[in-house]
């Protein structure tokens, strides 16, 4: 089994509906996103996937979140835009995009600060 990782960043604002505390107020984060993918074998070039291709697919999912108020965007217009839900959203969308049968998303980890992160994997 092979695994590779990329890291990307985005900035956004949100507030947590139904939360009792400071995070119920509008605030922002500079999110760090770690994406791990895996494959049983390598392609004809000796790669799991081209880093550039993986970054492009991740960018297509993350760019619509960048410098936006997440509470206005699906699925966060219904779900709270927690690190947990953001990680699952990116995992799900990237899994749909990487549907070649060989490469699978292993895990998406979203950091809302240097000291706090949440991951989603199946």
pTM for this prediction: 0.95
Residue 112 has pLDDT above 80, yes or no: yes
Q: How would DSSP label each residue in 41-79?
A: S--TTS-SS-HHHHHHHHHHHHGGGTTEEGGGSTTTTTS
pLDDT-derived band at 74 (thresholds 50, 70, 90) equals very high
The catalytic position among 27, 40, 67, 72 is 67
The catalytic position among 14, 89, 93, 112 is 112
Question: What residue ranges do the domains of the chain occupy?
Answer: 2-120
Q: Is 3 among the catalytic positions? A: no
Chain CA centroid to CA 97, Å: 13
Q: Is 93 among the catalytic positions? A: no
The CA distance from 33 to 63, in Å, is 12
Question: Quick check: bond before 7 cis, omega within 30?
Answer: no
Span 2-54, pLDDT tens digits: 999 999 999 999 999 999 999 999 999 999 999 999 999 999 999 999 999 99
Q: Is 23 among the catalytic positions? A: yes
Residue 38 corresponds to which tokens in the numbers above? 């895996």
**What is the CATH architecture of 2-120?**
2-Layer Sandwich (3.30)
């Amino acid at each position: 089994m092979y695994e590779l990782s990329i890291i990307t960043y985005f900035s956004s604002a949100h507030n947590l509906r139904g939360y009792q505390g400071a995070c119920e107020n509008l605030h922002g984060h500079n999110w760090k996103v770690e994406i791990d993918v895996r494959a049983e074998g390598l392609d004809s070039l000796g790669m799991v996937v081209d880093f550039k291709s993986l970054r492009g697919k991740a960018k297509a999912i993350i760019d619509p979140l960048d410098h936006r108020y997440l509470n206005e965007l699906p699925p966060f217009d219904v779900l709270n835009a927690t690190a947990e839900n953001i990680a699952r959203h990116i995992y799900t969308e990237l899994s749909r995009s990487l549907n070649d049968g060989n490469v699978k998303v292993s895990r998406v980890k979203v950091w809302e600060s240097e000291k706090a992160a949440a991951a989603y994997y199946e």
